[in-house]
């Protein structure tokens, strides 16, 4: 019999690897969508919908999957979810019409629901003082977004874009089998085994759940949206090749994934509120700079006209999105630290709601990005939209958390 410590480590490791692969496949249209757009002559809005379609189903299933995890355990639900996606991923190689990609993308996108399964599954194997770190390590599987950017272009270069779904289907099947044999089940963790679905859905009445959902819609939803959009942004804004653009886009995706463990550690040490507050402010300032479009000015001076150019070159832009990726990584962990602190008995259901909100942000934002470019012709409009979403989160956290704390401190002093 394996020791409890060994079981903890194997559960955390196998779940993190499985989630990394699921996230890699969930984000595959970030790379695969570009040659498909060229082949089908899609508009920016159509590309945004194509890229976001898997995100929709991966988001909508997070709540029911979280509930099923509380009821039946994470091992069974995780394995079943992964095996369900293998066939639609494989069939994508034979699609040749836009509607076919959308339908298959919806089924393949179920892989994105793995987060609400894994986060509840992993958290219950650890004590509260280590849950933030453990969930952060698991959440580092978001780095699958960077992985798809690193390996996707090379796979396409070897066998064409049709080869990528075949390879990904094989990877998913092998990962699912490996997960089953390296993970464990603990019936004591099925905290809602006797609870009705209606009772679990009662979390929707909790206003704090909706507030955490708003935070997560930007730190995770914004991360997903930009992970899908950045490769294309580099190609169109700076003229890079697909492989170079995907590599540079990984500068955002990679820290946005692997540093989630750092966010968990910081949240354990300084509290979820403190970390989330500073994450939102950092994101607000970075997005303000990223929002500024490439601008040419002609100024009348005493010596005649002088032309100025204001805009971010590719190097400065990459540094800024790298920092934004770090902020989002830390924020994703801090939001879930709120949940592990406050919702111990129904973590699956609550994480499903919050994960759903974050995923819907990742679905809606790319479509908004594409529509904004089609309407305005300004590519940095994507960052303008996200700037507005962060502003809403900052106002909400100030009114609901910061201001009451300040008032309480004032009362104590007086």
> What is 49-76 written as a DSSP string?
HHHHHHHHHHHHTHHHHHHHHHHH-HHH
Angstrom distance (rounded) from CA 69 to CA 187: 11
pLDDT digits (tens, 9 = 90+) for 215-234: 988 998 898 888 888 888 99
| Model confidence at 196: pLDDT above 60 | no
Angstrom distance (rounded) from CA 306 to CA 16: 55
On whether the CB atoms of residues 349 and 63 are closer than 8 A, the answer is yes
Mean pLDDT of 267-291: 91
Mean pLDDT of 150-173: 93
Average model confidence (pLDDT) for the chain?
A: 86
H or E element in which residue 299 lies: strand 295-301
More confident of the two residues 195 and 265:
265
On whether the CB atoms of residues 343 and 350 are closer than 8 A, the answer is yes
pLDDT value for 81 = 95
Angstrom distance (rounded) from CA 347 to CA 350: 5
Q: Is 304 helix (H, G, I), strand (E, B) or coil?
A: strand
pLDDT value for 198 = 60
pLDDT value for 164 = 95
Cβ neighbors of 110 (< 8 A, separation 6 or more) are 57, 58, 61, 81, 84, 85
- Classify residue 292: in a domain, yes or no: yes
C-alpha distances out from residue 25 to 28, 32, 74, 173, 227, Å? 5, 10, 20, 12, 12
Query: How many domains, in total, are found in the chain?
Result: 1
Report percent pLDDT > 90 for the chain: 33
C-alpha distances out from residue 196 to 71, 178, 346, Å? 9, 32, 12
Q: Give just the sign of the alpha carbon dihedral 192, 197, 201, 202.
A: negative
More confident of the two residues 48 and 173:
173
- Classify residue 78: in a domain, yes or no: yes
Q: In the structure, what pLDDT confidence band is assigned to residue 333 with cuts at 50, 70 and 90?
A: confident
CB atoms within 10 A of CB 194: 8
On whether the CB atoms of residues 112 and 240 are closer than 8 A, the answer is no
- Angle ∠(374,379,243) on CA atoms, nearest 5: 110
- Classify residue 197: in a domain, yes or no: no
pLDDT value for 161 = 92
Max mean pLDDT range (55-64, 99-108, 252-261) = 99-108
pLDDT value for 170 = 96
The number of helices, as runs of H, and strands, as runs of E, in the chain is 20, 2
| Model confidence at 104: pLDDT above 90 | yes
CB atoms within 10 A of CB 398: 14
Mean pLDDT of 379-393: 92
pLDDT digits (tens, 9 = 90+) for 148-161: 888 999 999 999 99
Question: What's the first-to-final CA gap in the chain, in angstroms?
Answer: 59
Mean pLDDT of 329-336: 87
> Phi then psi for 294, rounded to 5 degrees?
-60, 120
Q: In the structure, what pLDDT confidence band is assigned to residue 91 with cuts at 50, 70 and 90?
A: very high
Mean pLDDT of 31-40: 91
pLDDT value for 145 = 82
On whether the CB atoms of residues 263 and 328 are closer than 8 A, the answer is no
pLDDT value for 169 = 96
> DSSP state, 141?
G
| Model confidence at 138: pLDDT above 90 | no
Q: In the structure, what pLDDT confidence band is assigned to residue 32 with cuts at 50, 70 and 90?
A: very high
- Classify residue 194: in a domain, yes or no: no
Mean pLDDT of 384-409: 86
Q: To 10 degrees, what angle do helices 163-182 and 29-40 make?
A: 160
- Classify residue 130: in a domain, yes or no: yes
**Domain CATH for 82:** 1.20.1250.20
Provide DSSP, 147-189.
HHHHHHHHHHHHH-TTHHHHHHHHHHHHHHHHHHHH----GGG
- Classify residue 192: in a domain, yes or no: no
Distance, CA of 118 to chain centre: 14
Mean pLDDT of 9-38: 91
On whether the CB atoms of residues 144 and 27 are closer than 8 A, the answer is yes
| Model confidence at 285: pLDDT above 90 | yes
| Model confidence at 338: pLDDT above 90 | no
Domain that holds residue 255: 4-187+202-413
Instruction: Label residue 166 exposed, middle or buried (CB < 10 Å: 0-12, 13-18, 19+).
Output: middle
pLDDT value for 390 = 93
- Classify residue 196: in a domain, yes or no: no
Q: In the structure, what pLDDT confidence band is assigned to residue 197 with cuts at 50, 70 and 90?
A: low
Q: In the structure, what pLDDT confidence band is assigned to residue 202 with cuts at 50, 70 and 90?
A: low
User: Tokens 């759940």 sit at which residue?
Assistant: 209
> DSSP state, 126?
S
- Cα Dmax for the chain: 85
- Classify residue 193: in a domain, yes or no: no
Which of 228, 298, 197, 175 has the alpha carbon at shortest distance from 33? 228
pLDDT value for 195 = 55
């Amino acid at each position: 019999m394996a020791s409890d410590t060994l079981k903890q480590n194997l559960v955390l490791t196998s779940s993190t690897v499985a989630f990394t692969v699921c996230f890699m496949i969930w984000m595959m249209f970030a790379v695969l969508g570009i040659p498909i757009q060229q082949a089908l002559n899609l508009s920016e809005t159509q590309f945004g919908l194509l890229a976001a379609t898997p995100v929709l189903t991966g988001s909508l299933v997070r709540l029911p999957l979280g509930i099923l995890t509380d009821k039946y355990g994470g091992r069974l639900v995780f394995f079943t979810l992964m095996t369900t996606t293998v066939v639609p991923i494989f069939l994508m190689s034979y699609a040749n019409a836009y509607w076919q990609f959308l339908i298959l993308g919806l089924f393949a996108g179920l892989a994105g629901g793995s987060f609400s399964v894994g986060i509840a599954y992993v958290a219950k194997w650890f004590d509260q003082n280590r849950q933030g770190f453990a969930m952060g390590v698991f959440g580092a599987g978001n780095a699958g977004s960077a992985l798809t950017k690193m390996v996707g272009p090379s796979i396409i270069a070897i066998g064409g874009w049709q080869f990528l779904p075949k390879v990904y289907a094989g990877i998913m099947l092998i990962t699912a089998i490996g997960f089953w044999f390296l993970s464990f089940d603990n019936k004591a963790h099925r905290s809602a085994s006797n609870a009705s679905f209606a009772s679990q859905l009662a979390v929707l009445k909790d206003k704090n759940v909706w507030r955490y959902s708003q935070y997560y819609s930007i730190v995770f939803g914004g991360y997903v949206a930009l992970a899908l959009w950045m490769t294309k942004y580099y190609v169109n804004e700076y003229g890079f090749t697909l492989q170079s653009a995907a590599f540079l886009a990984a500068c955002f995706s990679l820290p946005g994934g692997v540093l989630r463990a750092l966010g968990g550690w910081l949240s354990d040490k300084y509290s979820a509120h403190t970390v989330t507050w500073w994450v939102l402010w950092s994101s607000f300032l970075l997005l303000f700079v990223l929002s500024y479009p490439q601008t040419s000015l002609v100024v009348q001076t005493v010596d005649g006209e002088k032309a100025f150019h204001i805009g971010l070159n590719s190097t400065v832009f990459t540094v800024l999105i790298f920092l934004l990726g770090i902020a989002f990584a830390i924020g994703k962990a801090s939001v879930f630290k709120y949940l592990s602190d406050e919702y111990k008995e129904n973590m699956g259901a609550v994480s499903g709601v919050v994960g759903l909100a974050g995923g819907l942000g990742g679905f809606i934002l790319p479509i908004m990005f594409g529509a904004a470019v089609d309407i305005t012709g300004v590519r940095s409009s994507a960052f303008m939209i996200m700037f507005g979403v962060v502003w809403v989160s900052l106002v909400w956290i100030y009114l609901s958390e910061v201001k009451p704390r300040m008032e309480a401190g004032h009362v104590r002093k007086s």
